[in-house]
Amino acid sequence: MAKIIDGKALAKKIQAEISTEIAALKHRYGRAPGLAVLMVGDNPASAAYVKNKETACHKVGIASFGKHFHQSITQAELELIIDELNNDDRVDGILIQLPLPEHLDAIALINRLEPTKDADGLHPNNLGKLVRGEPGLRSCTPAGVMALLAESQIDIEGKNAVVIGRSILVGKPIALMLLEANATVTIIHSRTKNIKEITRQADILIAAIGKPEVITSDMIKPDTVVIDVGINRINDHEGKSRLVGDVDYSNVSEIASHITPVPGGVGPMTVTMLLKNTLWAYKSKFF
Rg of the Cα atoms in the chain = 19
**Among 92, 97, 117, 228, the one annotated catalytic:** 97
Q: From CA 261, how far away is CA 267, in angstroms rounded?
A: 10
Helix (H) or strand (E) holding 163: strand 160-164
**Among 6, 92, 118, 120, the one annotated catalytic:** 120
Q: Is 166 annotated as a binding residue?
A: yes
Provide the total of helices (H) and of strands (E) in the chain, helices listed first: 10, 12
Contact 229, 163 (CB under 8 A): no
Q: Is 62 annotated as a binding residue?
A: no
Q: Judging by DSSP bridges, how do beta strands 63-64 and 34-40 pair with one another?
A: parallel
Q: Is 267 annotated as a binding residue?
A: no
The answer to whether 71 is a known catalytic residue is no
Q: What is the DSSP letter of 90?
A: T
The answer to whether 236 is a known catalytic residue is no
Q: From CA 228, how far away is CA 241, in angstroms rounded?
A: 19
Q: From CA 108, how far away is CA 75, in angstroms rounded?
A: 9
The answer to whether 97 is a known catalytic residue is yes
**Among 53, 117, 172, 276, the one annotated catalytic:** 53
Q: From CA 143, how far away is CA 140, in angstroms rounded?
A: 5
Q: What is the DSSP letter of 115?
A: G
Q: Which of 127, 40, 46 is nearest to 82 (CA)?
A: 40
Q: Which of 24, 30, 17 is nearest to 60 (CA)?
A: 17
Q: Terminal CA-to-CA distance of the chain, rounded, Å? A: 46
Q: Which of 269, 158, 173, 263 is nearest to 204 (CA)?
A: 158
Q: Which of 118, 161, 154, 110 is nearest to 138 (CA)?
A: 118
Q: Is 217 annotated as a binding residue?
A: no
Report the binding-site residues for NADP(+). 165-167, 231
Report the binding-site residues. 165-167, 231
Catalytic residues: 53, 97, 120
